[in-house]
Structure 1
Amino acid sequence: MKVKPILDKYAQVVNETVNFALSGPGGSFDIVAEGTARRILTIEEQLVGKPFPPHASSSGKLLLSELSKEQVLHLLPEKLEKFTAHTITSQDVLLRELAQIRTQGFAVLDGELEIGLYSLSVPVRDAEEKIIGAIASYGPSERMKMQGEQAISGHLIKAAAEIGRILGPRNSEA
């Protein structure tokens, strides 16, 4: 896949795993490629092809933030599944977080799916600014927080722009 070298490059830059998820209907997504950093302590599990609950993943929340309130309420159950004590289980709380994601331009997951797991996602858009997916970096909470949201999101935004140019509709031969 053409995005793998980009993911590998930015995995080295942020020194954590970076993945790309293609957007699907209703806030769903499929992780289609992953790049890994060279670390002694790393998350070894490959996430490509695995399902994730949209309310408990940074890419899922990012993609949900692109939908209207009505669409989100229609798609998700009233009581959201709990994975840890930090999981958002209320639609109202999730809607407030989705509004914050729209404002800041990235989504964060901090211990909501698994204790100690931190993830940050940014949108990947085509040439017409239509969302086509999300790029995320994830790793141990403490290590990711040391880098800071602005630093990580800045690198991922650059990666997202590169992927958007490759996958956007104007580049049919890419």
Structure 2
Amino acid sequence: MTEMDTNISATAVKALAVLDFMGEQHGPITVQEAAQGLSVDRATAYRMLLTLVHAGYVMRDNVTKNYRLSFKVLSLSRNLMSEDERSVKIVACLRKISDLTGETVHYSALERDAAVLVFRAKGSQRVAVDFQIGDRSALHCTSIGKVLLAYQDIRATEAIIAGGLWKVAPRTITDPDELRRELARVRAQGYAYDDLEFAPDMRCVAVPVFESGGNVPGGIAISGPSSRFDHDKLEVLRDIALREAATLSKSLGGIR
């Protein structure tokens, strides 16, 4: 086990873990549920929850004694999600791709060991994969995750491998050498597919968005049900996404 840096506050880490856990739930939680979810004793969970109540990030129902996130959590992302020239360009690109394809289009950014959905443009298709802003997805089993990982330092790949390549769908890549080969292929061709790797009934295509210095902090993905997203359709979507992403990359100061 890696020892924690002595400069890091263990209490703060625990409190943030509570927020992460609560953010993954679909409703209020009890102290016992927090304790079980975080693998801590009930007293520790109770103290962490009360600390967050005191700070204003968690609310406690005086009748049920359950806890839920407060709207103050939204204030943390206010400036992060505010409109600036960069975000306007990204959203305009997503909307153009959506208009051309009729599909819902996502822009996700790399954040440590996950791809986080930051912007989306909803399509006109009645049957679609409905990911939401803020959703996090694993890097080894999604098209956008593989695209983002392919353009990072090799240490990022090895860190993901060290964390475990768990199987979530029929074709999830779980072999380290296979993932390394897949990422090399993604980087060489400039796009990635998810062919039943994240879900047994979903296919996706993703392309990188380059910014200054050739960095790839994010990328564009289009996902859909496998019944409608056959391989021919994926190629059509890929070509449109590649073309529009290239234009976006140029406007953001990035060149592939």
Note whether the superposition's TM-score is higher than 0.5. Answer: yes
For residues 225 and 161 of structure 2, what CA distance do their matches in structure 1 show? 28
Closer, same or farther: CA 12–147 of 1 in aligned 2, 3 Å: farther
Mapping of residues 16-165 of structure 1, within 5 Å? 16-25=103-112, 28-43=114-129, 45-77=130-162, 79-145=164-230, 147-165=232-250
For residues 31 and 166 of structure 1, what CA distance do their matches in structure 2 show? 21
Could you say what secondary structure the match of 1:84 adopts?
Answer: coil
Larger-Rg structure: 2
> In the TM superposition, what is the alpha-carbon distance from 1:60 to its structure 2 partner?
0.7
> In the TM superposition, what is the alpha-carbon distance from 1:30 to its structure 2 partner?
1.9
Unaligned residue ranges in structure 2 (runs of 5+): 1-86
The corresponding residue for 2:91 is: 4
> In the TM superposition, what is the alpha-carbon distance from 1:78 to its structure 2 partner?
6.2
Unaligned residue ranges in structure 1 (runs of 5+): 170-174
Structure 1 stretches of 4+ moved >6 Å = none
The corresponding residue for 1:172 is: none
The corresponding residue for 2:3 is: none
Residue identity matched to 1:96 = R
1:101-141 CA distance string (max 9 Å, x none): 11211011011111111110101012543213100111112
Contact 1:4–1:35, Cα closer than 8 Å, also in 2: yes
Contact 2:204–2:234, Cα closer than 8 Å, also in 1: no
Residue identity matched to 2:167 = K
Of structures 1 and 2, the one scoring higher in RCO (CA 8 A, sep 6+) is 1
For residues 234 and 124 of structure 2, what CA distance do their matches in structure 1 show? 21
TM-score with structure 1 setting the length: 0.83
For residues 192 and 96 of structure 2, what CA distance do their matches in structure 1 show? 21
- Say how many residue pairs are matched: 167
Contact 2:104–2:124, Cα closer than 8 Å, also in 1: no
Could you say what secondary structure the match of 1:67 adopts?
Answer: coil
Closer, same or farther: CA 162–141 of 1 in aligned 2, 3 Å: same
> In the TM superposition, what is the alpha-carbon distance from 1:35 to its structure 2 partner?
1.1
Task: Name the structure with the higher strand share.
Answer: 1
Contact 1:69–1:95, Cα closer than 8 Å, also in 2: no
